[in-house]
Structure 1
Amino acid sequence: MINLLGLTGSLYMLQVYDRVLPSHSIPTLTVLSIAMAGLYIAYGLLDLLRLRLLARIGRRFDTSLQPAVFALSVSLPLRSGQEGTRLQPIGDLDQIRSFISGSGPTAFFDLPWLPFYLVGIFFLHPLLGALATAGAIVSVLLTLVAEGLSRGPAKRAMESSISRKQLSDAGRRNAEVVRALGMGPRISGLWQDRSEAYLANQLRISDVVGATGTVSRTWRMILQSLMLGLGAYLVIEGEASPGIMIATSIMLARALSPVDLVIANWRPWVSTRQSYGRLKQMLRNADAQEAPLTLPRPRETLSVEAVSVGAPGQQKPIIQNVAFSLQAGAGLGIIGASASGKSTLARALVGAWTPLRGTVRLDAAALDQFDEEALGRDVGYLPQDIELFEGTVAENINRFNANASADAVVAAAEAAGVKQMILRLSDGFQTRIGEGGSALSGGQRQMVGLARALYGDPFLVVLDEPNSNLDGEGDIALGAAIKGVRDRGGIVVVIAHRPAALANIDTVLVMAGGTVQAMGPRDEVLAKMTRPANVRPEQAPGGERAPTVVTLHDRRP
């Protein structure tokens, strides 16, 4: 209807020139003007309705994909590693919604009506139709040129935009380090280099689209004048009326206006097309995984079967052939030098990293057989880098579960020995902690993270360096928390450098070079770890004795 009503101006001028002017009829002009105004009002209302519909379609499109896209954005770094961090599914969704909600799609709705207008011009006069068709072909070719010239720069601009955003986010997250180490100017220089690359590509796209748009508009004005000139010639020759001359010029302008609009919206259209392709591929890969069945909550064992794990997106293993089994109520401490693979093993135990080979099982079921939310209910995890979220202390402890009971939150805080500390905060459990828990000290963040790990009495609790920021009281509370998990029949795995974290642990596993070097009763393994090797002291340069070598005697897995 919008495109049919777009003929109003042409028909109005045709009637004015061919009926009103020859007859000098004021009533005819009045009636035609009233009809014209009514049709244009209808045109405006329908165009407004179309824009409002597009805005709501964009919103519904966004709303329907929000859960899947957010889940995708969270899981990509765990599946694809560094490459996954370069993909921005939420940004892609925003780009698609923004384009759908704007005026860009209207150009593509109107563009198919171009032949209809050309046929209308042919009906008025074949020569005028031929000229209009030739002009339309040139305009369409200009659009295709814009496509070809802007495709490469658009892709590079997207990549450089993601790169500069990643650097900006990293600088914001590590603002304290940047300031303390005087890295601000250097980080700023890196960001400026990436911004220059981004702006250069954006400038290239702008130049291409701007030049193509200018040429298209110039050509359209020339074409309209040529249409008027040819129309005038036909009027002089008596082959057309003045009304036809004016009407065909207006129809041509209406026919070519979508082409100009397409060129003007070409840059967002190219970005939207790229975003749609990426998002479609990512969602297709995610949908390929079938939803697991709901399994009973684990209650008996944790089994690690010849597990080899590498960083997401990498095939080189960090740990290899790790195998052990724990029964309900067990406590395992994992020790070893830095970079021995302890944290990698922790990530595999909680399902954050998928093993390259082997399987981690809870009660005989592999972790990937559990629904993600159900598995999270039965797993407690305190990572080495404590990540808290903007919100209240209670929300962080209950994992932002809107249906969580206050009793469960308080119980988790008591289990972690952090209840009194929380109550001393300005608003107690309702204290807002800021982004990353910036309102709390390092020890407070670690204890709140421990309470979050213990929330809901999970069967498996994995704690990675849980006492790195704790004082003596914190160590005591941590020991009590570990004992509490074991007493209720849960399994605790503690990764530690400080012996205080192993106070209520009965079994210790030693890692070195990504493999298990020893596993057994805590006191026995620790004694072997500290037993001096049977080596003969050698004289060091300068007459000093060489340091005593400490080695691990029992290296059986």
Structure 2
Amino acid sequence: MPNLHAGTLVAAIRPVPGAELASALNSCKGALAGVALFSGVSNILMLTGAVFMLEVYDRVLPSRSVPTLVGIALLAAVLFIGQAVIDLLRGRIMTRIGAEMDEVVGGRVFTAMTRLPLFAGLQGDGLQPQRDLDSIRTFLSSPGPTALFDLPWLPFYLAIIWSFHPTLGVTAICGTIVLVTLTAATEAFTRKPMGGAVLSGVQRNSFAEASRRNAEVVAAMGMGRRLHDRWQGASREYLAQQQRVSDIAGGFGSIARALRLMLQSAMLGVGAWLVIHGEATAGIIIAGSILSGRALAPVDLAIAHWRNFVGARQSWRRLSQLLARLPQEAQPMALPVPRSTLTVERVALGAPGAPRVIVQGIEFALEAGSVLGIIGPSGSGKSSLVRGLVGAWRPLAGRIKLDGAALDQWSSERLGRHVGYLPQDVELFAGTIADNIARFEPESDANAIVTAARAAGVHDLIVSLGNGYETQIGEGGTALSAGQRQRIALARALYGDPFLVVLDEPNANLDIDGEIALGAAIRGVKARGGIVAIVAHRPHILTTTDFVLVMKDGQMNMFGPSERVLSKVFPKPQAQYGESEVRFQARPSYRIENG
């Protein structure tokens, strides 16, 4: 069996975006050639049964020779065993080809799947690319592809049948034409409903995933029955489409099997007619019937697996389009570690996949050791701006720079080393606390993990847990409270002492101790020469800032030193405002407050 290794499948030259699947399959051409060779040998060995019956009827029975019968029976047994071994090897090779394709392309698919929301937003079933790759691998491991390798041998069997007698050959060819026509009809009639089934399946899965993510809201507000009814409607549509595809493919498959049996009976009848007229022997009747069944078996198998073939073909097309849309990130030249400035130049931002501009005309610059507070009413674009600052959203206009280099001059991997980000909606990953803080680095530094946890003021909390840093937090960090998750996510943002730390409402779920630790963490970043940007709704955290940016309707309303801006935003003493209440006074025009 050919020995496949993922490394041998990686081309020396990076394939064209969108052609990775074809390139990976083309890299398996040696293994595919081996499958084709085994298929040829298998098809030749398939003659064993027909030849054995021919010899029994035309040689053994007339001669009544037991030694001849024993000899050809032993030879047939050896050939049948050889055929079984070859078919086993052929199936194992195809299974490994599918696994190797997954190994080679799976990383690209995962990366594209995780990057897609940054370009197209959260649309449809986010796991569909992974399901598409699974569909292709499953099809390659099924009997379907072997039918494609066997189909070219159909003329070979027809030629042998023709050599028995032209009338038998004409009968077999007529049956072949009918079955090939059925195959074409199966393709024509299943293409559209198969596409509809995939689309309705994506919609159903997306709705189910949204309901699962919001399980607490669903339970608290009694929405379960209504959502269940809505999901059931989508599920019925999906099942109806699937049933239609199954009915069409199953119907054509049943017709094909019936016609193949009819053809074998027809071959027996025609053979008997030829024997009666002295134009053929009894052995030819049996051999011709067996060979006609074998000749048309690949066609029958192809129709039976046509649904899987169509599904794999559609998955191939969707994956190729996705990979073409999201080419593999280039690895630009490594830039020096940023140490001095963050510059925002007339930036405009919009949500991925949406035409509306959310933020525009943002312009400011910060030096190392600065802390920026970003405030404004809900919907003013604060969270959209910080997504641009960390490189999650690409600017529609303008540029964001670290030490004069635009963010797009960095690969996401290298940029991430210098950026810490605490999003508004904290999301942790299944694994240990240490894994999450270290951002799942394969060889993380234990001292750096503890340093980040201490900086976030969460070290004592972690060691108080049963397994400390090795505590498994479950999917999404469900084993922790909201405040604990936020503080661990803060430690993750501080891991590795990043130059730019962006915090989107970092104190939303914190108690007094948590707020004290957050303030200490911000001062620590400032002291080591980093830059911090904080989106805040509580005035208390703004005491740690050097500059404040006030946003309104997606634009800068004010920007300047904290004391001057806050004195205009909060003309009354801040002590009169509760910790959870902030009132933003709209300003009539854009202003920059100079220090």
Give the TM-score range, shorter chain.
Answer: over 0.9
- Cα distance in 1, alignment partners of residues 218 and 270 from structure 2: 70
User: Residue in 1 aligned with 2:50?
Assistant: 10
- Cα distance in 2, alignment partners of residues 513 and 334 from structure 1: 14
Q: Deviation at 1:434?
A: 1.2
2:134 to 73, 89, 94: 94
Measured against aligned partners, the alpha-carbon deviations of 1:372-410 in whole angstroms (never above 9, x if no partner) come to: 111111100000000001111111100111200110100
Which residue type is aligned with residue 292 of structure 1?
P
1:168 aligned onto 2:218:
no
Measured against aligned partners, the alpha-carbon deviations of 1:414-464 in whole angstroms (never above 9, x if no partner) come to: 111111111111211111111111111111111001000000000100000
1:552 aligned onto 2:587:
yes
| Equivalences, count | 542
Measured against aligned partners, the alpha-carbon deviations of 1:332-354 in whole angstroms (never above 9, x if no partner) come to: 00000000000000101111111
2:444 to 384, 391, 404: 404
User: Residue in 1 aligned with 2:79?
Assistant: 39
User: Residue in 2 aligned with 1:337?
Assistant: 377
- Cα distance in 2, alignment partners of residues 262 and 328 from structure 1: 66
1:445 aligned onto 2:485:
yes
1:432 aligned onto 2:467:
no
1:320 aligned onto 2:352:
no
Contact 1:528 1:554 in 2 (8 A): no
Contact 1:413 1:448 in 2 (8 A): yes
Q: Which structure 2 residues correspond to residues 108-123 of structure 1 after superposition, within 5 A? A: 108-123=148-163
Measured against aligned partners, the alpha-carbon deviations of 1:169-203 in whole angstroms (never above 9, x if no partner) come to: 11111111110010111111111011101100010
Which residue type is aligned with residue 22 of structure 1?
P
User: Residue in 2 aligned with 1:387?
Assistant: 427
User: Residue in 2 aligned with 1:518?
Assistant: 558
Relative distance call for 1:494 and 1:240 in structure 2 (3 A) is: same
User: Residue in 2 aligned with 1:309?
Assistant: 349
1:157 aligned onto 2:197:
yes
User: Residue in 2 aligned with 1:368?
Assistant: 408
1:137 aligned onto 2:177:
yes
Indicate the SS of the match to 1:287.
coil
Q: Deviation at 1:293?
A: 2.3
- Cα distance in 2, alignment partners of residues 223 and 156 from structure 1: 35
Indicate the SS of the match to 2:489.
helix
- Cα distance in 2, alignment partners of residues 105 and 138 from structure 1: 22
User: Residue in 2 aligned with 1:53?
Assistant: 93
User: Residue in 2 aligned with 1:210?
Assistant: 250
- Cα distance in 2, alignment partners of residues 318 and 262 from structure 1: 52
Contact 1:412 1:456 in 2 (8 A): yes
TM-score (structure 2 length as normaliser) = 0.89
Q: Deviation at 1:285?
A: 2.9
Contact 2:351 2:357 in 1 (8 A): yes
Which residue type is aligned with residue 231 of structure 1?
G
Which residue type is aligned with residue 436 of structure 1?
G
1:27 to 43, 67, 89: 67
Which residue type is aligned with residue 565 of structure 2?
V
Q: Deviation at 1:531?
A: 3.5
Q: Deviation at 1:284?
A: 2.5
- Cα distance in 2, alignment partners of residues 289 and 245 from structure 1: 64
User: Residue in 2 aligned with 1:268?
Assistant: 308
Which residue type is aligned with residue 269 of structure 1?
F
User: Residue in 2 aligned with 1:528?
Assistant: 568
Indicate the SS of the match to 2:346.
strand
Q: Deviation at 1:82?
A: 3.5
Contact 2:569 2:584 in 1 (8 A): no
Indicate the SS of the match to 1:295.
coil
Contact 1:384 1:464 in 2 (8 A): yes
- Cα distance in 2, alignment partners of residues 296 and 88 from structure 1: 38
- Cα distance in 2, alignment partners of residues 453 and 549 from structure 1: 28
User: Residue in 1 aligned with 2:394?
Assistant: 354
Moved more, 258-267 or 332-341: 258-267
- Cα distance in 1, alignment partners of residues 152 and 105 from structure 2: 29
Moved more, 475-484 or 161-170: 161-170
Measured against aligned partners, the alpha-carbon deviations of 1:201-229 in whole angstroms (never above 9, x if no partner) come to: 01001100111011101111111111111
- Cα distance in 1, alignment partners of residues 569 and 588 from structure 2: 8
Measured against aligned partners, the alpha-carbon deviations of 1:355-382 in whole angstroms (never above 9, x if no partner) come to: 1111111112111211111111110000
Which residue type is aligned with residue 449 of structure 2?
V
- Cα distance in 2, alignment partners of residues 324 and 95 from structure 1: 49
User: Residue in 2 aligned with 1:537?
Assistant: none
Contact 1:334 1:342 in 2 (8 A): yes
Q: Deviation at 1:86?
A: 5.2
Contact 2:377 2:584 in 1 (8 A): no
- Cα distance in 2, alignment partners of residues 118 and 439 from structure 1: 67
Q: Deviation at 1:527?
A: 1.1
Contact 1:76 1:85 in 2 (8 A): no
Moved more, 499-508 or 201-210: 499-508
1:507 to 547, 560, 568: 547
- Cα distance in 2, alignment partners of residues 82 and 377 from structure 1: 25
1:251 to 273, 286, 291: 291
Which residue type is aligned with residue 360 of structure 2?
Q
- Cα distance in 1, alignment partners of residues 156 and 378 from structure 2: 73
User: Residue in 2 aligned with 1:78?
Assistant: 118
Indicate the SS of the match to 1:417.
coil
Indicate the SS of the match to 1:463.
strand
User: Residue in 2 aligned with 1:146?
Assistant: 186
User: Residue in 2 aligned with 1:457?
Assistant: 497
Q: Deviation at 1:550?
A: 4.5
User: Residue in 1 aligned with 2:164?
Assistant: 124
Moved more, 461-470 or 93-102: 93-102
The percentage of aligned residue pairs carrying the same residue is 54
Q: Which structure 2 residues correspond to residues 491-506 of structure 1 after superposition, within 5 A? A: 491-506=531-546
Contact 1:387 1:436 in 2 (8 A): yes
Which residue type is aligned with residue 451 of structure 2?
A
- Cα distance in 1, alignment partners of residues 302 and 458 from structure 2: 61
TM-score (structure 1 length as normaliser) = 0.95
Which residue type is aligned with residue 249 of structure 1?
S
Contact 1:315 1:356 in 2 (8 A): no
Runs (5+) with no aligned partner, structure 1:
533-547
